[in-house]
C-alpha cells in the first residue's frame, strides 16, 4: 500500500491564511468552514472541549452526525483549529508518532501501522475479562492492571451516558474491578468535550489513562503539547483500531431492528458475542430505558452492508487514514485471522508503542495473566485487511474524486489515485446510491424500518450482482 504525503490537499487559495487562523476573531467559524461544512468532522468533540470561551457545542446535524456548532462568542484563540485532527494544523500524525516513539530501543515501523516495539496476539486468561468482551479481553485486562499497579488514578473510556439515555460519554473509572463493566466497543460517536473540561478541573497531581479512538488520540497529542497541564495529567493513551464510526442514525436503525423504538432506547451493547461459530458475526442489542434488552441483531447482513459502503458514517471517517491509532502508547484490536474465526470467545492483538505499555503486557505474560505470542507484521496487517482496504486503499480513490471535482480535503498521507477510483467505480457508485436513498429517511417507527429494509435490500441485490 502506497503511503506518502500528497503534493495537494489543504493547499488551495480559498483556505484562510495562516494569520487568519492564528489570531482571527472567528477561529471557530474557520473550523466550521474548513472541517465541518465540507463534511470532514469525526465528532471527537475536542474542539468544543478545548475552547476557553465555551463557544462550540456538539450537536447532531440533519444526518445525525455529531458535529460542533457555534453557540457563543469566539475569542479567536485558534485552539480548536490547532487540535482538530482534520484541520491540517500543527504536526502531522507521522511527525507526532515519530517524535514519541521513533527513537525507542527495538522500535520498528510499518507504513500502515506506525512505530511499535511489540505486537502480540492472544487473550486474557484470568477473571472474566475475556467472557465479558468479544475481543479476547486484553484491553480490559490492561486497563485494570494500570489501575491496580497505580500507574494511573483513573481511566477514562467510552460508555453509556447514564444521565442522557441513548447517548454515550467518557466514563471515569477508579476501581480496577469496575473496568470490565465497560468492556466492548462503542459504535457511536462519543464526544470528548465534557471529559476534557473534567480533566482540567481534576485536583493537582492526578494521573489519567484515556482510551481514545485514533482521531481523538492524535488530537489529544496536539492538545497535550498546547496545554502542558493536560500532558502532565494524561500519563497513558490507549487506542483501538477503528474502521469508521457510525452516526446516531445507525443506532436508531439498530434499535428498531432490535425491537426497541429509538425514543425508548437506553443504550446499545454493540459487541454481544456471536451465537454461532463465526467470530466476525457478533451482534448488537438495544436495551430500553427500562433496562429490557431487545432482540440481538447479527452484523452480517444490513449492518455490515451499510458500514462497508460508508452509509450512516461520520464524514471525517471517510477521509481518515489512521487505522492503528499511531499516536497512542498501546493499541488493542480484534485478531481477525482465519485460525480464530471459529473461536467466539475472541482474540486480541496488542500493539505496544511505548516502553511502559510494553512492560505492562510483558508482565502479564510472565505472571500467566495473559496468553500471548508474537505477531509478525504481515499478520498484523492481515488481521485488519478490511479496514485497511476502506481507510487506506479506497481513500486513494475517494481523494482523487474530490480532487477531480475541485474540492478541498484535509492533509492526508495516502496519495490520491484516479486509477483506484476507476477500478472500484461500481463500489463507489453504489455507496452514493445507498447514501442518497437512505441517508435522510426517517427511522423512528417500525413502519419506517420496513421501507428502509426494502430499499437497502434492493441495493444489496444490485451490489451482489457486481
Ligand atoms: S473532528 Fe473533532 S475537533 Fe475537528 S471539528 Fe470535528 S469535533 Fe471538532
Ligand atoms: S475512522 Fe478515523 S476519524 Fe473515524 S472515528 Fe475512527 S479514527 Fe476517528
Same domain for 219 and 100? yes
- 221, three cell numbers: 497529542
Q: Which three cell numbers, joined as nine digits, stand for 457?
A: 435490500
From 340, 371, 386, the end of a domain falls on 386
Task: Ligand 2 pocket test: pick from 87, 319, 320, 328 the residue with the most ligand atoms within 8 Å of its Cβ.
Answer: 320
Nearest CA to ligand 2 atom 5: 245
Report whether residue 36 contacts ligand 1, using a CB cutoff of 6 Å. yes
Averaged pLDDT for residues 70-89: 93
Residue 156 shares a structural domain with residue 267: no
For 193-236, what is each residue's pLDDT tens digit? 999 999 999 999 999 999 999 999 999 999 999 999 999 999 99
Whether residue 82 has its Cβ less than 6 Å from ligand 2: no
Whether residues 152 and 237 fall in one domain: yes
Residue 435 counted as domain residue: yes
**Ligand 2 nearest-atom number relative to CA 391:** 1
Tens of pLDDT, residue by residue over 340-367, are 888 878 899 999 999 999 999 999 999 9
Residues 172, 103, single domain; the answer is yes
- Average pLDDT of 382-409? 95
For residue 42, the CA-to-ligand 1 centroid distance in Å is: 6
Position in ligand 1 atom list of the atom nearest CA 316: 1
Q: Is the pLDDT of residue 328 over 60?
A: yes
**Residue 379 within a domain:** yes
Same domain (yes/no): 143, 241: yes
Is residue 155 in a domain? yes
Query: With a 6 A CB cut-off, is 459 part of the ligand 1 pocket?
Result: no
User: Is position 71 within any domain?
Assistant: no
CB of 320 closer than 6 angstroms to any ligand 2 atom: yes
Q: Which residues contact 43 (CB under 8 A, 6 or more apart)?
A: 58, 65, 66, 67, 189, 191, 245, 314, 316
Nearest CA to ligand 2 atom 4: 317
Structural domain contains residue 2: no
Does the pLDDT value for residue 296 go beyond 50? yes
Q: From the CB of 214, is ligand 2 less than 6 Å away?
A: yes
Residue that terminates a domain, selected from 324, 358, 386: 386
Domain with 122 in it: what CATH number? 3.40.640
Same domain? For 372 and 432 the reply is: no
Residue 100 Cβ < 6 Å to ligand 1 = no
Query: Do 114 and 188 belong to one domain?
Result: yes
Q: How many domains does the chain have?
A: 2
Residue 397 belongs to a domain: no
CB of 35 closer than 6 angstroms to any ligand 2 atom: no
Measuring from atom 4 of ligand 1, which residue has the nearest CA?
84
Domain membership flag for residue 147: yes
**Could you please report the per-residue DSSP string of 65-124?**
-EEEEE-S------HHHHH-TTS--SS-HHHHHHHHHTTSTT-EEETTTEEESEEEEEEE
Could you tell me if 224 and 256 lie in one domain? no
42: Cβ below 6 Å to ligand 1? yes
Tens of pLDDT, residues 249-293:
999 999 999 999 999 999 999 988 888 888 788 899 999 999 999
Q: Give yes or no for residue 2 having a pLDDT over 60.
A: no
Distance 5 CA to ligand 1 centre (A): 22
- Same-domain check for residues 171 and 131: yes
Residue 192, ligand 1, Cβ within 6 A = no
Whether residue 12 is contained in a domain is answered as no
- Domain check: are 299 and 343 in the same one? no
Flag the least confident range among 7-21, 94-108, 372-386.
7-21
Of 84, 117, 92, the closest CA to residue 103 belongs to 117
Is 117 found in the same domain as 252? Answer: no
**Beta strands 348-352 and 118-124: pairing type?**
antiparallel
pLDDT at 14: 36
**How many angstroms separate the alpha carbon of residue 446 from the centre of ligand 2?**
30
pLDDT by residue (tens digit) across 33-68? 999 999 999 999 999 999 999 999 999 999 999 999
Residue at a domain's end among 386, 414, 439: 386
110 and 197 fall within a common domain: yes
The pLDDT confidence band at residue 414, using thresholds 50, 70 and 90, is: very high
Q: Give per-residue burial for 150-174: e unless 16+ CB within 10 Å, then b.
A: ebbbbbbbbbbbeeeebbbbbbbbe
* Ligand 2 pocket: which of 85, 191, 317, 389 to mutate (most atoms within 8 A of CB): 317
Closest atom, ligand 1, to C-alpha of 84:
3
Domain of residue 130 covers 93-245+315-386
Q: Whose CA is nearest to atom 3 of ligand 1?
A: 84
Q: Measured in angstroms, how far is the CA atom of residue 154 from the centroid of ligand 2? A: 24
Q: Are 81 and 319 in contact (CB under 8 A)?
A: no
| Residue written as grid cell 497529542 | 221
Does residue 213's CB lie within 6 angstroms of at least one atom of ligand 2?
Answer: yes
Amino acid at each position: 500500500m502506497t503511503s506518502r504525503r500528497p503534493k495537494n490537499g489543504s493547499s488551495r487559495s480559498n483556505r484562510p491564511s495562516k494569520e487568519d487562523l492564528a489570531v482571527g476573531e472567528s477561529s471557530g467559524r474557520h473550523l466550521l468552514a474548513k472541517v465541518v461544512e465540507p463534511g470532514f468532522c469525526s465528532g471527537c468533540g475536542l474542539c468544543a472541549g478545548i475552547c476557553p470561551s465555551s463557544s462550540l457545542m456538539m450537536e447532531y446535524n440533519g444526518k445525525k452526525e455529531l458535529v460542533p456548532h457555534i453557540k457563543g462568542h469566539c475569542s479567536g484563540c485558534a485552539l480548536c483549529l490547532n487540535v482538530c485532527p482534520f484541520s491540517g494544523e500543527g504536526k502531522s500524525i507521522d511527525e507526532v508518532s515519530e517524535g514519541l516513539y521513533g527513537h525507542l530501543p527495538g522500535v520498528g515501523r510499518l507504513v500502515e501501522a506506525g512505530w511499535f516495539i511489540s505486537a502480540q496476539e492472544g487473550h486474557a486468561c484470568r477473571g472474566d475479562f475475556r467472557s465479558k468482551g468479544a475481543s479476547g479481553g486484553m484491553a480490559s485486562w490492561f486497563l485494570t492492571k494500570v489501575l491496580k499497579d497505580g500507574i494511573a488514578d483513573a481511566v477514562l473510556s467510552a460508555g453509556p451516558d447514564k444521565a442522557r439515555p441513548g447517548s454515550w460519554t467518557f466514563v471515569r473509572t477508579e476501581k480496577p474491578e469496575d473496568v470490565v463493566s465497560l468492556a466492548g466497543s462503542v459504535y457511536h460517536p462519543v464526544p470528548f468535550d465534557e471529559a476534557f473540561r473534567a480533566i482540567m478541573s481534576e485536583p493537582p497531581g492526578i494521573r489519567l489513562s484515556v482510551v481514545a479512538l485514533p482521531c481523538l488520540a492524535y488530537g489529544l497529542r496536539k492538545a497535550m503539547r498546547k496545554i502542558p497541564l493536560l500532558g502532565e495529567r494524561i500519563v497513558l493513551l490507549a487506542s483501538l483500531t477503528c474502521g469508521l464510526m457510525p452516526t446516531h442514525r445507525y443506532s436508531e436503525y439498530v434499535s428498531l431492528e432490535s425491537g426497541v423504538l429509538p425514543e425508548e432506547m437506553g443504550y446499545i451493547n454493540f459487541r454481544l458475542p456471536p451465537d454461532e461459530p463465526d467470530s466476525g458475526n457478533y451482534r448488537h442489542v438495544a436495551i430500553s430505558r427500562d433496562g429490557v434488552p431487545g432482540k440481538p441483531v447479527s452484523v452480517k447482513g444490513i449492518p455490515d452492508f451499510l458500514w462497508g459502503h460508508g452509509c450512516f458514517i461520520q464524514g471525517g471517517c471517510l477521509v481518515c487514514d489512521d487505522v492503528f491509532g499511531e499516536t497512542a502508547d498501546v493499541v488493542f484490536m480484534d485478531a481477525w485471522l482465519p485460525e480464530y474465526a471459529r473461536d467466539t470467545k475472541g482474540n486480541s492483538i496488542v500493539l505496544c508503542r511505548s516502553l511502559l505499555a510494553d512492560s505492562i503486557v510483558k508482565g502479564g505474560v510472565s505472571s500467566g495473566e495473559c496468553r500471548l505470542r508474537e505477531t509478525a507484521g504481515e499478520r498484523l496487517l492481515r488481521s485488519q485487511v478490511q479496514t485497511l482496504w476502506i481507510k487506506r486503499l479506497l481513500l486513494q480513490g475517494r481523494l482523487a474524486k474530490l480532487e477531480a471535482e475541485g474540492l478541498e480535503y484535509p492533509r492526508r498521507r495516502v496519495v490520491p489515485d484516479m486509477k483506484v477510483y476507476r477500478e472500484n467505480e461500481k463500489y463507489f457508485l453504489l455507496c452514493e446510491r445507498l447514501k442518497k436513498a437512505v441517508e435522510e429517511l426517517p427511522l423512528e417507527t417500525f413502519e419506517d424500518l420496513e421501507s428502509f429494509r426494502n430499499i437497502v435490500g434492493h441495493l444489496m441485490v444490485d451490489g451482489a450482482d457486481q
